[in-house]
Structure 1
């Protein structure tokens, strides 16, 4: 087997930690994947993986070889793409992921503007309230809210979001405004039970309140709608109520007790070797998100 192809197979096994998944992703048979890795191990004279019935982990030599292989393959891909022109002009399909509401409200407009600028491109959005494995799920760019794990990916910070408690003016006129987090126990709460929600609401200076919600909503949208109607208070990320704040339908309370804001990053795995389609989208997304005063 061609050495470069064997290196590609090795890198994919290292990323997925699975021979079977690598075979599926690369449209190969599992034995062919196994033979390719074995050939590399024989060629370099070192074992690359420790394999058990439940896991595939790189050895120390494998980890060093993995970084070298990624660099070499990136150089080859860059040279080939440059010759074909794809590093000069965006081509193909761009896949982008973000959380549901943030994606719909702020990433989707960037995507449509991007597609308007490059009519030969097509786009695919994957808006879901859980972390997406960029490599395994074929995603080019991710917009992440929260602190990032050490992944080796390129991440550009574009702003931050606050976790806020809010309610309608009519609710506060009738029930009063909470002054401290503990005051929330005296108020009616409509809580979201979506992916990032927790019954323990944390605030600055290690203040914690276990909220007994009168209404549990399985989406943030439902909790926000309930708050806008004056039924009770809710807690969400402040970008989710941006339009309602501007319209005066909701007001934020307990702002002085909020935790530090969560960062927003635009993330992609290729670094400086990213193709034109990724670089063009990242540049546009960074520009548009940084320009939004809501995230400053």
Structure 2
């Protein structure tokens, strides 16, 4: 079987050669994983690259990183926070935290909880515009819109309907919408973990306590493989245990 072709530009792989190269590359990667598993069986060490979405990363992952680093002092952590889709395989990221439904057969998923959202407004806004008692009263209020890929995301109402919020501010960041809501500019649909401190301090009021969203699943995901490197196992186990007492199931 011919694996290489010689041409004016040098040697190139045939289709069979490319298939053999890819298979051999996977074999060597699995061998590397096996060697890592053996050498790090008792003490995770080396570089661990992780990624998490902005809101969950700032409010839940980052506050626990110092304790994680202290538990594994031989690990070197490289953590990225972004709402951009991160492909662990092509970007060589060891482990990612994902919010929402994940459909990627290349990844191993461990569900650790749910991200629930609710409607929030400042006391000053409610004093000026009135407090809606049910979600059906939202069309009469200023809504602060989340923007994804340049498009305003509609609110999914408990009744099954949808409402495109209209208000003075729209943004692709929940932190921006949170700040606008605190300033009394309108009602924002925010993850509970983003707004919970503001509710405790009286800066925001949680609306519609009787309506509880099922929430979006939160997963820790990492590439498929016969062996899980010890550094990845340490991250997965640590944050899975943390989620049991801090995230809704």
TM-score bucket of the superposed structures, by smaller chain: 0.7 to 0.9
Question: Whole-Å Cα distance in 1 between the matches of residues 18 and 184 of structure 2?
Answer: 66
Q: Residue 167 of structure 2 contacts residue 186 of structure 2 at CA under 8 Å; is this kept in 1?
A: no
Aligned to 1:16: none
Contact persistence 1:78–1:87 (CA under 8 A):
no
Q: How many residues align?
A: 242
Counterpart pick for 1:181 among 132, 135, 145 = 135
SS of structure 1 residue aligned to 2:85: coil
Structure 1 counterpart of 2:6: none
1:242 aligns with 2:196: yes
Is 1:109–2:63 an aligned residue pair?
yes
8 A Cα contact 1:98 1:126, kept in partner: yes
The equivalent residue for 2:221 is: 267
- 2:10 and 2:210 map into 1 onto residues whose CA distance is 60
1:139 aligns with 2:139: no
Q: Alpha-carbon deviation of 1:130? A: 1.9
Partner of 1:295: 248
Offset at 1:218? 4.3
The structure carrying a bigger helix percent of its residues is 1
Q: 2:165 aligns with which of 211, 216, 234?
A: 211
Deviations 1:178-210, CA, capped at 9 Å, x for gaps: 233342221122323356973421123421112
Closer/same/farther in 2, CA of residues 173 and 273 from structure 1, 3 Å limit? same
Answering whether residue 74 of structure 2 is matched by residue 96 of structure 1, we say no
- Structure 1: any 5+ residue segments left out of the alignment? 1-5, 7-29, 49-64
The question of whether the paired residues in 1 share the 8 Å contact of 2:121 and 2:205 is answered with: yes
Of stretches 114-123 and 74-83 in structure 1, the one that deviates more from structure 2 is: 74-83
Gaps of 5+ in 2: 4-8
SS at match of 1:136: helix
Other-structure match for 2:13: 35
TM-score, scaled relative to structure 2: 0.82
TM-score for the superposition, normalised by structure 1: 0.71
Cα–Cα, structure 1 residues 105 and 197, in superposed 2: closer, same or farther, change >3 Å? farther
